[in-house]
Structure formats: C-alpha cells, structure tokens
Amino acid sequence: MQREETSRDPMDDQFPPKKGPTFCSLRYGLCLLLHLCNVVTVSQNVCLSLTMLAMVNRTEPRGLPNASAEDLLDSVKNPQYNWSLKTQGVILSSIMYGLLIAQIPAGYLSGIFSIRKMIGCSLLLSSLLTLLTPLAATAGEAFLMACRALQGLGQGTTLTAQHVIWVKWAPPLEQGRLTSMSISGSVLGPFIALLLTGFICQSLGWPMVFYIFGACGCALSLVWFALYHDNPEAHPCISVAERDFITASLAGQVSSSGHTLPIRAMLRSLPVWVISLTSFAYFWMMRIIIFYSPMFISSNLHTEVQENGMLSALPYLFGWILSFLSGPMADCFLARNILSMLTVRKLFTTLGLLLPAVFSVCLASAGSSIQSVVVFLVLTNATTSFCTVGMLINPLDIAPRYYGFLKGMTILIGMTGGLISTTVTGIILDQDPESSWFKIFFLMAAINVTSLILYLIFAKAEIQDWAKERQHTRL
C-alpha cells in the first residue's frame, strides 16, 4: 500500500543513503537516560496512590467496623490521618494543578531555552519536594496539597519539554521508536513505584517511599547534567558518523525560534482540536487507572497493601513492554511504505482508546473474581500504550516547527481531563460506593469513544499550511 498522505514525503530526499549507528549509538544512550528520568518522575507522581492506603485509617466509607489490631501498621513508621474519600481525591488531584500550569510555559520555553537545564532543574525540584512530602502531610492537608501542586510544576516541565529533544536528536524515521522508548519510562515508573511501595510501606513505613524516590531523583538529575547536551553538534562524546547522520537527516527541519507563534491559526485548526480532545480522553483514562487502581483492587478484592502493590503494578509491566514495541512497529510500517503516516496515527490511536474502553467496562463487571480483575486490569492499562505513536506524537507531524508549544497546549487540555477525572472519581466514590466503579468506567469509555470518532474524521498527518511559512498573526 502506498503512502497517501504523509508529512515525511517532502523529506525523503534528505535521508542519507547509509544508516547511522543504531542501538549502540549515543542517541539511544540518551534515550535510555530520558527513559530513566521518566521512570523516576512518574514514580514520584504515582507512589502516593498506594501510600494513601497506609496513610489513612480507612479508604472505604466511614461507619464500617475498624480493622483488627493485628492488621494495623505501626503508628510510628506509618502515621495515619482521618481523610475522607473526597479529601483523598482532592489530595490525589492536587498535583494536576501544577502539571496544568506548567504545560504552556514549558512547551513555549523549550523552543527557546536549554532543554538540558530545564529538565535537570525540574527533576531536581520534583525530587526535593518528594523528600518533603511526609513533613507536608504531618503539617496538614493544605500543606500536602501545596507540596504536590509545586511538585506538579517540576514534573509537568520535565514531561513536556522532553518532546523537543527528538526534534534535534532523532532522524525522521526513528522518531516514533525513540519517542516511544523514552516515554515508555512513564509506564515502567508506575510498575516500579507500585511494586516497591507495598514492600516499603510494610517493612519500613510509608514515609520511606518518598525518601527513596526523592533521593533517586536527586542523583539522576546530576547524571542528566553530566551526560546530556542540547544538540548533536555540542555533545563531546558523539561520533563523527552519528553526528553527520543526524544533521543530514534533519537538514530540512526548522525550529520556532525567532518566529511568531500562529496562535489564531492553531485555534482554528481542526487537527489540533481533535488531538487535544483525544489527549483529554487519554489523560482522563490514565489518571483514573494510575490513582485509583489500588483503591479499586482494595475495595473489590480486599487485599493487604503489599499484595495490592503487586497486583496494581502488574498491568504496567505489560504496558511498558507494549509501549516499547509500538514505536518500532509504527516505524516499520512507515519505512516499508506499508501504511501512510495518517493511517498509522489513526490505527494506533484507535487501538489505544477503543480497546481500553472495552476492557474497562468488562473490568467494572468482573466482580470479586481475582482472575477476571487482573486480566481486564492488565488489558485496560497495557493497551493505552498504543497512543504513544498515535495521537500523542501527532503534533510533530502537523507542525514540527512549533512542536514544543503545540505539545504543551494539547497536554494542557489533556491534563485538564486528568484533573477533572480524579476529582469526579473521588466524589462518585464518596457519594455512591455501591455502583460507583461501573459509573466511573462507563463514563471513561464514553469519553474515549466520542473523542476517537472525532479524531478519525478530522485528524491529519501532513504539515499544516500555518506551520509551513512564517506567520505574523498575534493573539
């Protein structure tokens, strides 16, 4: 099948005849480093969802009999607080405020300032605030919410600014692969966080979770400053062959530096809006899965914290594997001209939104069967990874010049969905504990399907007119 509609066709002549270094090359080493940064960043984000079970007296509606003394964790290692489910939902969603605020500035500034300094400083900020989380929880709910919101600023900057890295470091036919491999750290992070958090809470107490992940982040930020440079020409360790290969592959690309942002054109662009709507659905779905999976398992299967951590972590392992494979799959379709760019984006977006919608409804109907719950939880979580090379990378196709800003804009709208979903889920759980999970998952499925239909109708994968020429439109 010939490629019908693609943003890569005009660049075909720019690909050098010989391939540069691959998995042993510096760019794949930097991909691994960025992968680890995502692991730590998302681990710091997610660990509260499981520690919350140890931080509060109950995660179920009040009025139920207290657990026996044998089941209570040591009060010295595990201070406990009397937070309602609604309060827990607000605390869990508080990090989203910082994530939201960071998106547009991080996307815009990533095209102007050093990515090395932005990501390094943001990772360090998030890690220091992670170390302070137990102290903030002791000071009160308001202090914990403020700490998490500030943490969101650092994490939001890291998760958004990193996308610009591959504008300068990834040859066009490797962008899907490098992007999915680096972003897959965001899927491995919850696996590690949830797997270790249960054991740490049980043996060392929940505050040690934040001390360990915070210390790891501080150490990794120093490694980042030592190893990463903003472009291939400036890196002292890159080989001449790899540097020439990357620069030749990207010779036709231009950045937004020095150009006025075509804000009005972006706001009138249907492809931008459908990417934003699918981002809204994606983050709505992911925030529920990330923050409320431990609570769902606890309420349905009545597990201990350690067992809960293992069950909550398992889906992310499969999601990480699938995320790692989806990039090479997409690049293979493109390199061999099997599918067009637009078809690839629509195919993987469909898989990443429709399959989780179906499996989540099945999960809501699984009851207390541990086999059914685990199978559908794994399938719901893992299949979201297809979005990595679907709508999540689609802004690079339609506007590579303004990729950083456009990515921040679409993630902002997406994270608004994540903020709303975590808050709404907490309210539904607090008001209707009996049938709440079916309502939560059915609403999530409806949002996924609606946004997917619009994406299939209006999505594009070629560079838009407003992204080709210099614009003078101002907001």
Residue 454 has pLDDT above 50, yes or no: yes
| Local structure of residue 206 (DSSP, 8 states) | T
| Type of residue at 9 | D
Give the residue with greater pLDDT, 81 vs 12: 81
The Cα-based distances of 27 to 31, 238, 241 in angstroms read 6, 9, 12
Mean pLDDT of 59-85: 57
Q: What is the model's pLDDT at position 354?
A: 96
Classify burial at 102, counting beta carbons within 10 Å of its beta carbon; exposed 0-12, middle 13-18, buried 19 or more: buried
Tracing tokens 């079916």 back to the chain, one arrives at: 438
CB 469 within 8 A of CB 260: no
With bands split at pLDDT 50, 70 and 90, how would you rate the model's confidence at 85? confident
- pLDDT > 70: what percent of the chain? 87
Q: Kindly report which listed range (126-140, 145-159, 323-337, 372-386) carries the lowest average pLDDT score.
A: 323-337
Judge if pTM exceeds 0.85. no
Q: What is the model's pLDDT at position 50?
A: 82
Mean pLDDT of 217-243: 90
Distance, C-alpha 369 to centroid of its chain: 29
With bands split at pLDDT 50, 70 and 90, how would you rate the model's confidence at 475? very low
Question: For 12-34, how does the pLDDT look when each residue is reduced to its tens digit (9 = 90+)?
Answer: 443 444 444 466 788 889 999 99
Mean pLDDT of 66-95: 69
Q: Which residues pair with 56 in a beta bridge?
A: 81
Residue 342 has pLDDT above 70, yes or no: yes
With bands split at pLDDT 50, 70 and 90, how would you rate the model's confidence at 170? confident
| Local structure of residue 76 (DSSP, 8 states) | T
With bands split at pLDDT 50, 70 and 90, how would you rate the model's confidence at 67? very low
Mean pLDDT of 306-314: 81
Mean per-residue pLDDT of the chain: 83
Q: What is the model's pLDDT at position 473?
A: 44
Residue 8 has pLDDT above 50, yes or no: no
Q: What is the model's pLDDT at position 128?
A: 96
C-alpha closest to that of 461 among 10, 14, 8, 13: 8
Residue 212 has pLDDT above 80, yes or no: yes
Residue 139 has pLDDT above 50, yes or no: yes
Domains of the chain (ranges, CATH numbers): 24-58+83-250 (1.20.1250.20), 258-470 (1.20.1250.20)
Residue 80 has pLDDT above 60, yes or no: yes
Q: What is the model's pLDDT at position 327?
A: 82
Residue 137 in tokens: 């929880």
Q: Kindly report which listed range (18-22, 313-317, 321-325, 334-338) carries the lowest average pLDDT score.
A: 18-22
